[in-house]
């Protein structure tokens, strides 16, 4: 992979909950227009790492973050308007969270909040985002229907469409396929491969083969530490620096 501009630079990141260390001394770069995979067993600090990237620690009173996270050249700890920051950093959580409103309104909500009011403009955004999330053809005749009545896989794609409606520069996915059937998972994976042409993606997954299919580079976390970062295919051909990485990839633990 050819090195590109650094979209996200993390240096000496430490995360604690109530004084209990969850992640220690993490330093890594994420390049623009890449899918960056994060793998590791449960409890290794993957989700905690993701939470810090759009300042979700402000919603966890016992969570303490130290170190530097620079996104698009700005230290996010110095950003005063967290909600403005989050318009550039979309998040898709493990379980689909459909807002209690129509499919159309789920996607149109963020654009409306940003000041877009004209129906023609909103219609265009809704169609574009649902298309990018591979959902438009399935729901275009029932946009007024409740998003919560969609199947699990459709709701997860709706969540992705909603995240895309903010036109993010960085998309964070935390175990997006945990509640999605294999066929839908593959459809979403195809969507992500296309989306990386437009934005940068960080993918946290417990499925090492999913990381192999999608990620340009992968980071391996273990027991609250970053063990190593490398080209994904090199990981899977045994070119690792730490034996623990190979042991995890080959299923000896985790």
Encode pLDDT of 42-88 as tens digits: 999 999 999 999 998 888 889 999 999 999 999 999 888 888 898 89
Q: Does 117 reside within a domain?
A: yes
Q: Tell me, what's the pLDDT at 56?
A: 85
Q: Does 215 reside within a domain?
A: no
Total structural domains in the chain? Answer: 1
Q: Does 131 reside within a domain?
A: yes
Q: Which two tokens stand for residue 94?
A: 């493990």
Average per-residue pLDDT for the chain: 92
Q: Could you give the percent of the chain with pLDDT greater than 70?
A: 98
Mean pLDDT of 20-34: 96
Q: Does residue 108 register a pLDDT over 50? A: yes
209 exposed, middle or buried (CB, 10 Å; 0-12, 13-18, 19+)?
exposed
Q: Does 90 reside within a domain?
A: no
Q: Does 140 reside within a domain?
A: yes
Which H, E and C letters describe 31-64, residue by residue? Answer: ECCCEEEEECCCCCCHHHHHHHCCCHHHHCCCEE
Domain range spanning residue 131?
Answer: 98-167
pTM of this structure: 0.91
Cα(153)–Cα(172) distance, integer angstroms: 18
- CB distance 170 to 90 below 8 Å: yes
Q: Does 193 reside within a domain?
A: no
Mean pLDDT of 160-179: 92
Q: Does 11 reside within a domain?
A: no
- From the list 190, 201, 75, the residue with the least C-alpha distance to 135 is 190
Q: Tell me, what's the pLDDT at 242?
A: 96
Cα(36)–Cα(189) distance, integer angstroms: 13
Q: Does 116 reside within a domain?
A: yes
Q: Tell me, what's the pLDDT at 111?
A: 95
Cα(210)–Cα(232) distance, integer angstroms: 11
Instruction: Identify the band that residue 3 occupies on the pLDDT scale cut at 50, 70 and 90.
Output: very low
Task: Match 């309104």 to its residue by tokens.
Answer: 105
């Amino acid at each position: 992979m050819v090195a590109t501009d650094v979209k996200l630079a993390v240096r000496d990141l430490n995360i604690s909950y109530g004084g209990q260390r969850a992640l220690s001394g993490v330093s890594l770069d994420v390049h623009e227009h890449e899918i960056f995979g994060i793998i590791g067993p449960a409890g290794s600090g993957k989700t905690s790492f993701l939470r810090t990237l759009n300042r979700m620690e402000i919603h966890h009173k016992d969570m303490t973050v130290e170190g530097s996270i620079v996104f698009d050249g700005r230290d996010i700890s110095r950003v005063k308007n967290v909600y403005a920051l989050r318009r550039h950093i979309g998040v898709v959580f493990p379980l689909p969270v459909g807002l209690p409103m129509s499919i159309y309104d789920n996607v149109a909500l963020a654009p409306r909040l940003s000041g877009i009011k004209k129906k023609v403009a909103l219609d265009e955004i809704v169609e574009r985002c649902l298309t990018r999330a591979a959902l438009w053809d399935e729901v275009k005749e029932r946009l007024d229907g409740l998003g919560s009545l969609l199947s699990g896989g459709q709701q997860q794609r709706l969540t992705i469409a909603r995240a895309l409606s903010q036109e993010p520069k960085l998309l964070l996915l935390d175990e997006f396929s945990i509640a999605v059937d294999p066929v839908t998972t593959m459809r979403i994976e195809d969507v992500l491969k296309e989306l990386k042409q437009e934005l940068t993606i960080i993918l946290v997954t417990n499925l090492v083969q999913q990381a192999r299919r999608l990620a340009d580079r992968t980071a391996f976390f273990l027991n609250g530490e970053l063990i190593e970062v490398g080209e994904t295919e090199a990981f899977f051909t045994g070119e690792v620096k730490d034996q623990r990485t190979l042991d995890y990839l080959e299923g000896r633990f985790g």
